[in-house]
Structure formats: structure tokens, C-alpha cells
């Protein structure tokens, strides 16, 4: 199985900060990676697919990059609505696997 | 609009069975692969199973293989998860999620997701 490791596990930031979350795969997954945002008690919401494609309706302050084994999710200017937990997901092969999550907290 | 609504969760004793359902609307259900994903309380996301759009293939996480069965009824626009021999570690919110692209058999992200149904395995 492909292991997905996110860092950091928790991130404290202020409104307006630039935030970067890293996701590493245990083997190459090409660009078969998605990012999701989850708020407490809610279902995950798709932000990015194919490593860098922005889902329709998602604010442009979100961006994704990377390929192979190293990926990043960047929020260019953190907004109050962005405080949530973020997960990466590889869909290169079954079983599909997720990172452990990164919680973005208010500093 | 595209909607997924899970049902069937509840409290069940260890070793017993439960069947979850996911009712789909707003899209051509028979054209999309469907997944179950679960989330234990306070934990991350764990993929459980997938069924292809036509039901021809199914894959499972090792943690549920041999105990859970995914199925679908395209005439009723409904996805199912039959869960047998339940264990305490199966306690979680169970989400159904759709493949984002039609007729996909691989390399597909999930969108949208349902709101989830809570399964609690406890004596």
C-alpha cells in the first residue's frame, strides 16, 4: 500500500498568512493526488485534483503543486473560513490512501 | 443538484451485522463508480471500498475484506455496504462518495461526498 505522510500535523496561523502543507508519498504516484478540506462535523470538500487542478468554485487563493512523491497545498492569504483540517489523497492505485490530516488553527 | 444521502447507521453489538445505504440523486448514478470512506471519532479518513459504475469490479481495504460487501442497485440509484462481524474498531462515520469522472475504472478523485452516517459498535 502507498503511505501518505502530511506535515505538519497542526499549523497555527493568522488571517492573511501564507500557509503551506506538504504531503509525501511512499512511492511515485505521478500527479494522482487530491486535496480536501474538512470542517468539524462536515463531509470533506474537494479543493484540488490531479495535484494542481483547482476544483470549480474553489477560491484561487488555494493552489497545489508537485509530482512523483512530493506535493504541496498552498493558501496564499489565509481567510477566516479556511480554518479546518486538510487531507491529501492518492488515487494512483488501490487501496486509495489518505494523509493523516493537517489541522489549521487560529494563532 | 448532485446529492448523496447515507442512512442505516446506529448502535450495534460486536459480531452483529448492519447494512448502510446511500441514495443518489441529481446525476446518472449508473455512470459513476462509488466509494465508502470512514472516519473514526477524532481520526482521519480511511477508504473502505469501491464498486465500478457497472458493478463489475469491487475492491476493499484489508481491514474490512471478507467482512464487508459493497453493492449497488442502479435501478434504485442506491449504493449499499453490508457490514458483518462488526468490531469495536469499525466505529466511525461512514461516508459514501462518488467518482468525479464518468465511467472511470482508475485514477479518480472523489466528488461529491454525502454527509455521513454514524456506526457505533458497542456492547
Reported confidence tier of residue A107, pLDDT bands at 50, 70, 90:
confident
Q: Please give the average per-residue pLDDT across A12-16, as a whole number.
A: 96
Q: Please give the average per-residue pLDDT across B92-114, as a whole number.
A: 93
In the block, residue with C-alpha cell 494522482: A32
Per-residue confidence (pLDDT) for residue B119, from 0 to 100:
98
- A chain contacts of residue B95, beta-carbon cutoff 8 Å: 43-44
Per-residue confidence (pLDDT) for residue B74, from 0 to 100:
96
Asked if the Cβ–Cβ distance from A98 to B44 is below 8 Å, we say yes
**Partners of residue B102 on adjacent β-strands:** none
Kindly report, residue by residue over B2-30, the tens digit of the pLDDT: 999 999 999 999 999 999 999 999 999 99
Sequence-separated (6 or more) residues with CB below 8 Å from residue B119: B9, B10, B12, B18, B20, B83, B86, B90, B91, B92, B93, B94
Neighbours of A7 (CB within 10 A): 13
CA distance B80 to B96: 9
Per-residue confidence (pLDDT) for residue B104, from 0 to 100:
83
Answer yes or no: are the C-beta atoms of B14 and B121 closer than 8 Å.
Answer: yes
**pLDDT of B107 above 90:** no
Backbone angles phi, psi at B26, to 5 degrees: 90, 5
Sequential DSSP letters for chain B: --EEEEE--EEE-TT--EEEEEEEESS-GGGS-EEEEEE-TTS-EEEEEEE-TTSS-EEE-TTTTTTEEEEEETTTTEEEEEE-S--GGG-EEEEEEEESSTT-SSS--EEEE---EEEEE--
**Partners of residue A67 on adjacent β-strands:** A70
Q: Please give the average per-residue pLDDT across A81-89, as a whole number.
A: 97
**pLDDT of B106 above 90:** no
Looking at the complex, report in whole angstroms how far the Cα of residue B43 sits from the nearest Cα belonging to chain A: 8
- B chain contacts of residue A93, beta-carbon cutoff 8 Å: 106
Kindly report, residue by residue over A25-75, the tens digit of the pLDDT: 999 999 999 999 999 999 999 999 999 999 999 999 999 999 999 999 999
A58 interface with B at CB cutoff 8 Å: no
A98 interface with B at CB cutoff 8 Å: yes
Answer yes or no: are the C-beta atoms of A77 and A18 closer than 8 Å.
Answer: yes
Looking at the complex, report in whole angstroms how far the Cα of residue A22 sits from the nearest Cα belonging to chain B: 16
The 3-class secondary structure across A46-81, one letter per residue, is EEEECCCEECCCCCCCEEEEEECCEEEEEECCCCHH
Question: C-alpha grid cell for residue B120?
Answer: 457505533
Interface-testing mutation among B38, B44, B58, with chain A (most A C-beta atoms within 10 A): B44
CA distance A102 to A37: 10
Amino acid at each position: 500500500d502507498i503511505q501518505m505522510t502530511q506535515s505538519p500535523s497542526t499549523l497555527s496561523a493568522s488571517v492573511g498568512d501564507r500557509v503551506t502543507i506538504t504531503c509525501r508519498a511512499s512511492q511515485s504516484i505521478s500527479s494522482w493526488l487530491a486535496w480536501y478540506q474538512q470542517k468539524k462535523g462536515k463531509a470533506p470538500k474537494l479543493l484540488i485534483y490531479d495535484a494542481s487542478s483547482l476544483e470549480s468554485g474553489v477560491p484561487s487563493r488555494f493552489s497545489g503543486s508537485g509530482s512523483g512523491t512530493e506535493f504541496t497545498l498552498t493558501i496564499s492569504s489565509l481567510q477566516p473560513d479556511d480554518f479546518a483540517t486538510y487531507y491529501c489523497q492518492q488515487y494512483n492505485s488501490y487501496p486509495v490512501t489518505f494523509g493523516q490530516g493537517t489541522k489549521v488553527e487560529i494563532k | 443538484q448532485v446529492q448523496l444521502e447515507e442512512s442505516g447507521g446506529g448502535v450495534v453489538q460486536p459480531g452483529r451485522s448492519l447494512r448502510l445505504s446511500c441514495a443518489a440523486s441529481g446525476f446518472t448514478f449508473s455512470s459513476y463508480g462509488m466509494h465508502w470512506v470512514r472516519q473514526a471519532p477524532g481520526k482521519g479518513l480511511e477508504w473502505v471500498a469501491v464498486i465500478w459504475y457497472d458493478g463489475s469490479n469491487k475492491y476493499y481495504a484489508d481491514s474490512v475484506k471478507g467482512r464487508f460487501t459493497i453493492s449497488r442497485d442502479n435501478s434504485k440509484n442506491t449504493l449499499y455496504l453490508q457490514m458483518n462481524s462488526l468490531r469495536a474498531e469499525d466505529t466511525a462515520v461512514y461516508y459514501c462518495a462518488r467518482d468525479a469522472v464518468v465511467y472511470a475504472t482508475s485514477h479518480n478523485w472523489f466528488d461529491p461526498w454525502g454527509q455521513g452516517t454514524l456506526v457505533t459498535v458497542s456492547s
